[in-house]
Structure 1
């Protein structure tokens, strides 16, 4: 079978035994032509704005003097239009947040996780295999894709970006994802979050869509803010919660290597001195993680996807404190906290072998900066 449907047979999918050479035609054209591939949204039959564009001005991050001077490496794409993170962290940047936009396409093939229409294509998963399937067994009258290639690669992106787009997809057709089936989920905590968020997508790798809706949903406008906060409210509805000082989310050795050598020491210190809760997302289930994070005023940990568990339920006025490796400074969470009326703060570590260490006193003083803002 070319595609695996969702958890529920109620998804209105027509079974259709058909053959397509769409992927092979595309690969042949690409090899014979020097032109750049045409993005599939360029051949949309209709496009419309779901939410308008708007202009925002970023607030400054909270950080101690001398922190940025330690930075030796960064992800430049996370600091557009600046290369070094200094301007981004200093705030005052006026940004045009684009509109949230929908695109309607007709007669589209989904083959091995990629969309094809004529000479246009769009990858939703990692690039297809050299010899993709040519048999398509599912045909849908109208569907909406909410997943992205980045969301199918990184857990944090899936939860913070793809999941909010799911709400848009539900308004336009059968919500479809190319992520693996329920038997082999993309991330270990996918299914638990989908259950608590009420997500019931159709899971397909290959299909034919008579009508298909795609989205531009990367801008941090008020519409995206509202959908993300609604997700947080759904999660909070499952657990009792009252305000508490904060949660330290352990990263350990998971994901891309960012080894904080004194991670446990810092976590235990904050538990003893400030009443922070310590959470190990690699060993806890989703209900336990959400229950511990709910009500936290501060979400702290090594910069990385594990912080999303706390950011999901962080309320307006709360703070994300990212412990940054000096050779890999990332500002992704700042754009989210700016959008959601929260504070972003950071401490930059110092190299220690193949990892780094963080000064506990600097963590304490950075937390004091936040507490001073809250007064």
Structure 2
């Protein structure tokens, strides 16, 4: 093996190759025993707290009576903390935000989106390839993995979570992320965001790490708040901005289906009545998107990844206003606004075929409940 990379500058790779059957041993062991492998963090040579945890009390969301009664389904399995949205929206919960932790593991293989050592593994993508490579091309003295399964699957999670953990990775070793593949391609808007955020990771499909650092960075503690705000401030340095009423970020038919049938009607109403800017992020470049969102007092749209463009640069005291499908209510942005000193408002739609509709009158009445600037 070759490629000794010990500095973030990433010197040119001098490649010598090694063979590893770690992925196949893992698959065979699982098939023979039927038991899941231990997580790599459980066999760490060293673990430590990077930032302390804390107890926070959640404020109530802003919503009209009867909204939660419309919710027929919710999706919390992917997002921490894993609780039903009703109590979260009502507020007043004491939530234990755990510490940010680091884990050092020695002699680890990265093979096609999964990490292996002995009987332990840790997947960085949801489904590594069935036929993993056995030729490992890179050797890293000390690397730090900042990517996650969710971040490799969804753009919003990548930008709101993985990019925030990148700052920790830079402090602990060479920042490494899994290489894009046909199944998990690089998000189209990732390169310009990385450029503006000063991110320069190594993207690897295979590697051997003499030392590897992993993180627990899911809690909404003060450290995560500070790193997220620093990321937003860095984006704002690239655009001229001044306060304005709000931005409506269209979702359309993209991503996991959350089809708001009267989306354009709601967007036009917010533009005419409230002076909102309306953008379709899939038709604009990143500088134009950030310039439109910067300074917004309200970020509105169907709950989904597209809202992250505005949430990134929303200032304390601002409001995230989500239009929620009744069969797929997600609380994720509420956790962020609670953490970052912002407000969270929502309206739940009513079913309409394979989509839903939003009552504009309810949007109006909820807007009237927002704190006045």
Distance 2:126 2:327 in 1: 27
TM-score normalised by length of structure 2: 0.94
Gaps of 5+ in 2: none
Task: Verify: 1:344 aligned to 2:344, yes or no.
Answer: yes
Aligned residue number for residue 360 of structure 2: 360
- 1:154-204 Cα offsets, whole Å, 9 max, x none, are 0010000000000000001110000418xx952110101000100000000
The answer (yes or no) to whether the contact 1:18–1:137 under 8 Å persists in 2 is yes
Task: Verify: 1:230 aligned to 2:224, yes or no.
Answer: no
Correspondence list, 1:260-299, <5 A: 260-299=260-299
Distance 1:129 1:268 in 2: 45
Gaps of 5+ in 1: none
The answer (yes or no) to whether the contact 2:10–2:202 under 8 Å persists in 1 is no
Using a 3 Å threshold, how does the CA distance of structure 1 residues 79 and 41 change in structure 2: closer, same or farther? closer
Distance 1:236 1:218 in 2: 25
Distance 2:37 2:55 in 1: 32
Count of aligned residue pairs for this structure pair: 365
TM-score normalised by length of structure 1: 0.94
The answer (yes or no) to whether the contact 1:13–1:139 under 8 Å persists in 2 is no
- 1:94-137 Cα offsets, whole Å, 9 max, x none, are 11100000001111000111100111000001322222100011
CA RMSD of aligned residues (A): 1.8
Aligned residue number for residue 145 of structure 1: 145
Aligned residue number for residue 198 of structure 1: 198
Pairwise CA distance, 1:79: 8.0
Pairwise CA distance, 1:14: 5.2
Pairwise CA distance, 1:215: 0.3
Distance 1:304 1:64 in 2: 21
Aligned residue number for residue 55 of structure 1: 55
- 1:54-90 Cα offsets, whole Å, 9 max, x none, are 000000000011111111111143585643x221100
Distance 1:330 1:11 in 2: 43
Aligned residue number for residue 369 of structure 2: 369
Using a 3 Å threshold, how does the CA distance of structure 1 residues 232 and 9 change in structure 2: closer, same or farther? closer
The answer (yes or no) to whether the contact 1:11–1:174 under 8 Å persists in 2 is no
Using a 3 Å threshold, how does the CA distance of structure 1 residues 160 and 238 change in structure 2: closer, same or farther? same
Distance 1:69 1:98 in 2: 31
Distance 1:350 1:62 in 2: 19
Aligned residue number for residue 67 of structure 2: 67
The answer (yes or no) to whether the contact 1:109–1:209 under 8 Å persists in 2 is yes
